[in-house]
Amino acid sequence: MKNSIFLIIFITFQVHSYGQNLDGLYIWSGEIKGPKTDYGIVEIKIDSDSTYTQTDFSGYKADFDDRENKWNRIVRSGKIKKDGGFYLLTEIGNRKNWHLVKIRRNKLVIYGYKKKRNGKLKKVKGIELKKASW
């Protein structure tokens, strides 16, 4: 009895002390529609100091092998803040540009808002970025 109580306390402590490792590189790629693009890549690199760097590539799939030279590239960086069951990724220097995300074991899910008929906003799932490394 004494050993089983110790074991239960030990397992409970281990479960609560195990933190989620957010660090890593998360990537999404797929077709997008635009006047000067038909393919895109989104990379979000999360560092241990609660910062992130987001790099968006867009261009033509035919130029995929030479994307560093021919594709449009946008780089943003910001801070990560826990907000309930979600995380807020807020761009540095532009507080109006933020993402609501959920970070799971091997993926990062970006959420957006859709306006309903009654005028209220509904949270909807956007894109899923798969964890690539770390």
Which residue ranges form the domains of the chain, and what is each CATH number?
Answer: 24-131 (2.40.128)
Is pLDDT at 6 greater than 80 in this prediction?
no
Burial code (b: 16+ CB inside 10 Å, e: under 16) for 46-73 equals beeeeebebbbbbbeeeeeeebeeebee
pLDDT band for 17, please (50, 70, 90 cuts): very low
For 49-90, what is each residue's pLDDT tens digit?
A: 889 999 999 999 888 888 888 899 999 999 999 988 899 889
